[in-house]
Amino acid sequence: MTNSAGLPRILFVDDEPNILDALRRQLRREFAVETAVGAAKGLFALGQAEPFEVIVSDFMMPGINGAEFLAAARKAAPTTTRMLLTGHADLADAARTINEGQVFRMLLKPVDQETMVAALGDCVAQHRLLVSERELLEQTLHGSVKALTDVLSLASPAAFGRASRMRRVASAVLDQLEVEDRWAIELAVQMSQLGVVTLPPIVAEKLDAGAALGPAEQAMVDRVPEVAEQLISPIPRLAPVAEAIHYSRKGFDGSGPPDDGATGARIPFGGRLLRLVRDYDTLLTQGASPDVALATLRSADRVYDPDLVDALSTSAAALASSVQGVMLADLRSGMVLAAPVTSRSNVLLVNPGQEVTVGLITRLRNFAALEDGVAEPLMVLDPAGVSAAAVPAIG
């Protein structure tokens, strides 16, 4: 990111103010230099609204050294290119720094001005290349993902609603945890129902209603994740999404496919979470209350990650507290249906989990004009309290 003068923004972090002042004077014509004395102030500087193109850190600093700082900086500003200055060439330190902080350049002190300018120029070029590639890829990826989810919403509104319900629960669980590649996990949950489009209508209807399935019908439903995985696998950058779906039928104890011997934490996190939220949603669809559904999950010893069950328990309470009843006249876009919408004679009109759109409001108003009308109030999740069902941002 360049400043108003068109110069690339560089952040230098060192524990010696005199060195920082000298760097600012030497480089002020080529770069917009900001400085921070020590790692703590460096991390604070990364929280600014305007990002840096390059972060340069000294290695030998008290408290948090340069390797640890750049590893933390990578999480705080993942697209910013990182460079390390060091006064000693210990290979172990160098390897650890490069691996943990994904450092693009490492220079040995003392560094002359010409070498520093050249290295910073390379770092800026690397940053701009990564950002441009990421923007192009995200546009393509978002288009592919949106096309698939739009197809699901048209071909099977009930499956789309189920996927949206599951993703909101997964998002609430993830809000309590520190997880890398959260976007991939949320996307896996959202896209896990794509395979439903291959089910015969009568089987899909039973699945939506939570009705008992025969052996042949259950076998079809069990293949839904496999179909979704096959649809997603060819899309660039969606390997972690496909992996989560691949492991979504595996128990924490190692039971279920794939039969690869993985158990516990060796099972990909996305697969463990997807298994949990899918089975939780199934229990709710079958008529269980949230408390009964959670008790059922806890009683299935070792099938579910106990830490995730605990997080789900807390999340379920938060989700329930965001449910409110509204009249049809007060229904607004962005709300999410928390319960089925029926006619006054209890005929199902809209499945729960669907996000309210202008089209859905118009549809319900048309139903309301008929003799059987629409049963009110409608139970919804307010968008201020619960994440909407949009495609997650790609990380």
CATH number (domain holding residue 100): 3.40.50.2300
Q: Are residues 286 and 274 in the same domain?
A: yes
Report which of residues 136 and 379 the model is more confident about.
Answer: 379
Pairing label, strands 32-37, 9-14: parallel
Asked if 349 contacts 376 with a C-beta cutoff of 8 angstroms, the reply is no
Q: Is residue 147 a part of any domain in this protein?
A: no
Domain final residue, candidates 298, 321, 344:
321
Domain final residue, candidates 305, 321, 337:
321
Domain final residue, candidates 278, 296, 321:
321
264-279 per-position pLDDT tens digit: 999 999 999 999 999 9
Q: Are residues 244 and 296 in the same domain?
A: yes
Q: Are residues 290 and 162 in the same domain?
A: yes
Q: Is the pLDDT of residue 143 over 50?
A: yes
Q: Is the pLDDT of residue 346 over 50?
A: yes
Q: Is residue 288 a part of any domain in this protein?
A: yes
Picking from 73-87, 152-166, 377-391, which range would have the lowest pLDDT averaged per residue?
377-391
pLDDT of residue 285: 80
Mean pLDDT score, 338-366: 86
Instruction: State the sign of the Cα–Cα–Cα–Cα dihedral 94, 100, 105, 111.
Output: negative
Q: Are residues 170 and 296 in the same domain?
A: yes
Q: Is residue 69 a part of any domain in this protein?
A: yes
Report which of residues 8 and 78 the model is more confident about.
Answer: 8
pLDDT of residue 316: 81
d(CA 69, CA 313) in angstroms, rounded, equals 35
pLDDT of residue 389: 44
Per-residue confidence band for 178, with pLDDT thresholds at 50, 70 and 90: confident
Domain that holds residue 28: 9-132
Mean pLDDT score, 78-85: 89
Q: Is the pLDDT of residue 334 over 90?
A: no
Per-residue confidence band for 184, with pLDDT thresholds at 50, 70 and 90: confident
pLDDT of residue 220: 92
d(CA 207, CA 217) in angstroms, rounded, equals 9
d(CA 52, CA 83) in angstroms, rounded, equals 12
Q: Is residue 148 a part of any domain in this protein?
A: no
Q: Is residue 146 a part of any domain in this protein?
A: no
Residue that has been written with the tokens 């999950």 in this structure: 297
Burial of 389 (C-beta count, 10 Å sphere; 0-12/13-18/19+): buried
Q: Are residues 209 and 358 in the same domain?
A: no
Q: Are residues 109 and 190 in the same domain?
A: no
Mean pLDDT score, 309-333: 84
Burial of 343 (C-beta count, 10 Å sphere; 0-12/13-18/19+): middle
Q: Are residues 121 and 196 in the same domain?
A: no
pLDDT of residue 95: 66
Picking from 2-6, 48-52, 74-78, which range would have the lowest pLDDT averaged per residue?
2-6
Tally the domains of the chain: 3
pLDDT of residue 252: 95
Mean pLDDT score, 19-45: 91
Q: Are residues 310 and 329 in the same domain?
A: no
Report which of residues 358 and 311 the model is more confident about.
Answer: 311
Q: Is residue 140 a part of any domain in this protein?
A: no
Q: Are residues 360 and 379 in the same domain?
A: yes
Q: Are residues 341 and 308 in the same domain?
A: no
Residue-averaged pLDDT of the chain: 85
Q: Are residues 109 and 69 in the same domain?
A: yes
pLDDT of residue 96: 66
Give percent of the chain with pLDDT exceeding 90.
Answer: 39
Residue 39 C-alpha from the chain's centroid: 28
Whether residue 78 has a cis bond before it, omega within 30° of 0: no
Q: What is the CATH number of the domain that holds 303?
A: 1.10.3210.10
